[in-house]
Structure 1
Amino acid sequence: MEIRALLMGLAFAFMWSSAFASARIIVLAAPPLMSLSLRFLISGLIGIAIARALGQNWNLTRAQWRAILVFGLSQNALYLGLNFVAIQTVEASLAAIIASSMPLLVAFAGWAFAGERLRPLAIFGLAAGFGGVAIIMGARMGSGVDLYGVALCVAGAIALTVATLSVRGASAGGGNLLMIVGLQMLVGSAILAGPALAFETFTVTWSWQLAAAFSYTVLVPGLAATWVWFLLVGRIGAVRAATFHFLNPFFGVAVAAVLLGESLGIYDVIGVAIIMAGILAVQRSRVVAKLG
């Protein structure tokens, strides 16, 4: 793999994983859905403005528009909406670990619903990955984890799986990528605005930490990470790009530990290592299958 693609993959994995820690700061001080809807609105408008300045337009194919709607609903409104609500009571590290199981869910969904054959390496990876999640969940439940928050995280991971399956359509053709990023964020903002206004009260505890976390979330995980992901998929393909997801459990818990001071037990460390090995095995199996 070329060095540029490697650096893009590492940057995406770190930016994607860091979102859980910054989101935790936000939701402890402001309404989660209102904050997320505003984040998408700002990120989307910035993305579209930059795209227009670069000469991009919204003359997209029907498949791209359909994928934008699916991606905006599945990733932005459902996956991130559910996670923003969940991390009010669930630690950022646990939310990151659950979300990181997405490559495992994609492989399982391909086998269960699309008739894809799994190589022995992929079967091992699935067993190891889900086993690692089980180890962490068993340890966390013993310390009183909020099961409702965990259920929301799991539902979000399933929604992210659907979003991932739509990425190829959204990035088809290799053009107007930043415009696509901006448009799918506006979709998420519009969908979340209704439940935010209906169920939340605008009560905010203002601080510089909130301002910094919100600004970072808008610009880095919100805009830059999504753009880099689409560029990476366009450069090396969705299968190879997805390999970098094996780093998400490590980056997720590391950033949460450093930034938020979340404690990590021995079972967390063991579980994260097993999950990373499982995800890497699954993705390597998919790469080999595609090349073969």
Structure 2
Amino acid sequence: MTPPLMALVALFSLIWSSAFVAGKIALVTLDPYTLLVIRFGLAAALMAPFCPWRRIDRRALRVGAMLGLLNNALYLGLTFSALQRLRPEIVVVVVSCAPFLTTLLAVALGQERLAPRRIVGIACGIGGVAVMTGLVGAARPDPLGLALAGAGTLAFAVGTVLFRDKAVGLPVFQLNFWQTLVGGVALLPAAWLLGAPVGSVTVPTILAVLHLALVVTIGGMALWLALIRAHGAGTAASFHLLNPVFGVALAHLAFATPLRPEDFAGAALIALGLGLAVMTRAPARSG
């Protein structure tokens, strides 16, 4: 990777991982569905004045709506539900399995081919993920929480591959706006039926919601869509292998979570896997 790309990948991973730490803070007073509806509603309202309403790209609207259902409603609805049962760093680590699922889907759809070094890199990354989550240790995480996080990660992988296939040349800002708006609207019934009464709103909750709406939804998602367009679904998904490193570090800073030897061992495996996976560009299938 070139230095500018390395900087973008690090920034993306930091932003993406911070979402689950901020989410854990906000979930003290908000249920996951209400939190996401507020997050997406605020972000969409802030983006709306900058949308070219006289030149709406209808294809961008359709693709954005599809991504809103997969990336925002399903992926974040499920993973934020998992946050109620799991530590944020574990949810971050499970989401980091996205490269494996995305690569399999991209290969199955004929978008990319697997290179041997890339397979080894993803295997190293998944091994690091297993070490950091405690799946290979004595303390087992909540099974339902892991299932929710895993299902959300699968929805995210599907959205990643479909974006690469359908959204070439579409305006990233409009895509982000429509997927944010549709994701919030899609989660309204869940917030209405499954949501809990809002507790006392604290300053940390307000700051967490603002961070989720401004930094993650507007900035982080736009950066993510741009990385997919530039580097392909499988390669862009491999950037998530850095997320456990940032997730553990941010959880330590925010919640005083102890740093374990397994965290450092897993981080080393993930860094090795990221290098192998990204240094080997997956060729697209011809014809």
Instruction: Report TM bin, short chain.
Output: 0.7 to 0.9
Give 1:45 shift. Answer: 1.8
Give 1:281 shift. Answer: 2.1
1:218-237 alignment runs, 5 A limit: 218-234=213-229, 236-237=230-231
Instruction: Please report the TM-score for the alignment, with normalisation by the length of structure 1.
Output: 0.86
Q: 1:85 aligns with which of 65, 81, 86?
A: 81
**In 2, distance between residues paired with 1:229 and 1:19?**
14
Instruction: Please report the TM-score for the alignment, with normalisation by the length of structure 2.
Output: 0.88
1:107-256 alignment runs, 5 A limit: 107-111=103-107, 114=110, 117-138=113-134, 142-168=138-164, 171-175=167-171, 177-234=172-229, 236-238=230-232, 241-242=236-237, 244-256=239-251
**In 2, distance between residues paired with 1:200 and 1:216?**
21
**Percent sequence identity over matched residues?**
29
Matching residue of 1:37: 37
**In 1, distance between residues paired with 2:27 and 2:53?**
34
Matching residue of 1:59: 56
**In 2, distance between residues paired with 1:124 and 1:83?**
27
Provide structure 1 residue ranges, at least 5 long, that are not aligned to the other structure.
none
Matching residue of 1:22: 22
Give 1:226 shift. Answer: 1.2
Q: 2:283 aligns with which of 270, 278, 289?
A: 289
- Cα RMSD after superposing both structures: 2.7
Matching residue of 1:70: 66
Contact 1:27–1:85 at 8 Å: present in 2 too?
no
Give 1:254 shift. Answer: 1.2
Q: Determine helix, strand or coil for the equivalent of 2:243.
A: helix
Matching residue of 1:259: 254
Contact 1:136–1:271 at 8 Å: present in 2 too?
yes
The verdict on how the C-alpha distance between 1:243 and 1:82 changes in structure 2, with shifts beyond 3 A counting, is closer
Give 1:36 shift. Answer: 0.5
Contact 2:241–2:274 at 8 Å: present in 1 too?
yes
CA offsets per residue over residues 172-225 of structure 1, 9 Å max, x none? 2253x2222111111111111101111122232321111111111111011111
Give 1:125 shift. Answer: 1.9
**In 2, distance between residues paired with 1:259 and 1:57?**
44
Contact 2:112–2:282 at 8 Å: present in 1 too?
no
Contact 2:134–2:141 at 8 Å: present in 1 too?
no
